Amino acid sequence: MRTMTVVGASLAGVNSVQQLRQQGFDGRIVVVGEETHRPYDRPPLSKALLAGRADVDDLWLCDEEDQDELGAEWRLGVRAEQLDPAAGRVRLSDGAEIDTDGVVIATGGRARRLPGIEDMRGLHTVRTIEDALALRAELTGGAGEVVVVGAGWIGAEIASTCHELGLRVTLVESGEVPLSRTLGDAMGSVFAALHTDHGVSLRCRSRVSGLTNVADGDGRRVTGVWLDDGTQLPADVVVMGVGIQPVTEWLAGSGVAVDDGVLCDPGCVTELPSVVAVGDVARYRTATGGTVRHEHWNNAAEQSATAIRNLLAGSTIEHYRPSGYVWSDQYGVRLQIAGELHQPDEVEVVDGSPSDRRFVVAYRRSGETVGVLAMNNPKLFIRMRKQLAGRLATS
């Protein structure tokens, strides 16, 4: 194979380029990225960059020298618009066509929006540098009341940052408690208290049914949020933290199957052995026959090693084993999880105490530890995470 095209120039894309070189591919690599920026790290967008503790220049994933060393052609500011696997060609939004032997799909996703809610001033999502800077400008430009919709990781981090900036924050969550699907209700309650103890108003079992707004120049500006129980919350700024929509439209007609992500086998290979998918966009088949797609930094960082090995081999010779490692910083508290935390038989505090916000909790199934959750306890967490990974590798 002489040319590889990596579509997507964020973490999963850059790691794929690194893996191609590390695994010995010395041909041509073309990287296509819709954003005009060099590859950058997204986790600070909801935290340090939004809070003003980091600049855009702190976000680059590699410096220019490292990027040059990868020996890739960077086509930034253009989208891939069509994949023609039979011809071995990717067509770009600037009209260019790239003849390629293999394709790595790393297109990630765009921020999901609330259905039926039209766009207006004061309404934000956070996915890109521009998103974060635009939100920061409003948060520091006289906003008083902020409503964050969705108390998942991103929503919780944004609520925490808004609190840090001195704003009044209401966090709207459809579930019983935040993160209940990921962590279970008991641990979700610990996260609920983290918000409310910092004066953030948390409204669970609530959905947004509409936005109140006023005319603002040639458009509209949000003034508040209607909840489905009829409550009206005032808001100068509304932030939607309701997940992402995988970017797959450009694959229409390509033969690559898509269903809320790019469908691939347990080794991240699509139905076409010369096309693999990595990162937020990859929906791979698991050993139990289901499919799963992760929207996490570490998955994007880890998945490319397997996907590239299989791409270079021309068939699936290795299955992806996710570490399930996720971290978050909220209200000065460091949260870390690894493994599988849903539907355990037993949840046991193995160190510290949830009320002190310094603890490690083990999630067990049939007596085996399958997941770990920690708050402000990174040293024990990493030991337990390594044990978990070691057991997964030998199972």
Give the list of residues 6+ apart from residue 141 with CB closer than 8 angstroms, or none.
none
Structure tokens at 205: 């079992």
Beta carbon of residue 61, minimum distance to other proteins (angstroms, whole number): 6
Closest CA to 370 of 392, 393, 350, 354: 392
Beta carbon of residue 137, minimum distance to other proteins (angstroms, whole number): 23
Beta carbon of residue 295, minimum distance to other proteins (angstroms, whole number): 17
Comparing CB distances to other proteins, the nearer of 198 and 334 is 334
How far, in Å, are 15, 28, 201, 314 from residue 1 at the CA level? 19, 9, 56, 10
Comparing CB distances to other proteins, the nearer of 205 and 383 is 383
Q: Report the C-alpha gap between 153 and 330 in whole angstroms.
A: 9
Beta carbon of residue 238, minimum distance to other proteins (angstroms, whole number): 28
Interface ranges with other proteins (CB under 8 A): 14-15, 18, 41, 43-44, 48, 61-63, 66, 297-298, 301, 325, 327, 334, 336, 378-379, 381-383, 386
Beta-bridge mates of residue 212? 224
Beta carbon of residue 228, minimum distance to other proteins (angstroms, whole number): 38
Comparing CB distances to other proteins, the nearer of 49 and 362 is 49
* Residue labelled with tokens 């609530």: 206
Q: How many distinct helices (H) and strands (E) make up the chain? A: 9, 26
Closest CA to 149 of 122, 128, 181: 122
Beta carbon of residue 48, minimum distance to other proteins (angstroms, whole number): 8
Answer whether 153's CB lies under 8 Å from 328's CB: yes
Answer whether 328's CB lies under 8 Å from 194's CB: no
Comparing CB distances to other proteins, the nearer of 191 and 325 is 325
Q: Report the C-alpha gap between 309 and 317 in whole angstroms.
A: 8
Beta carbon of residue 108, minimum distance to other proteins (angstroms, whole number): 17
- Side by side, the strands of the sheet bearing 262-264 are 262-264, 282-285, 291-292
Q: Report the C-alpha gap between 274 and 315 in whole angstroms.
A: 8
Comparing CB distances to other proteins, the nearer of 207 and 334 is 334
Comparing CB distances to other proteins, the nearer of 54 and 292 is 54
Comparing CB distances to other proteins, the nearer of 17 and 275 is 17
How many residues in total does the chain contain? 395
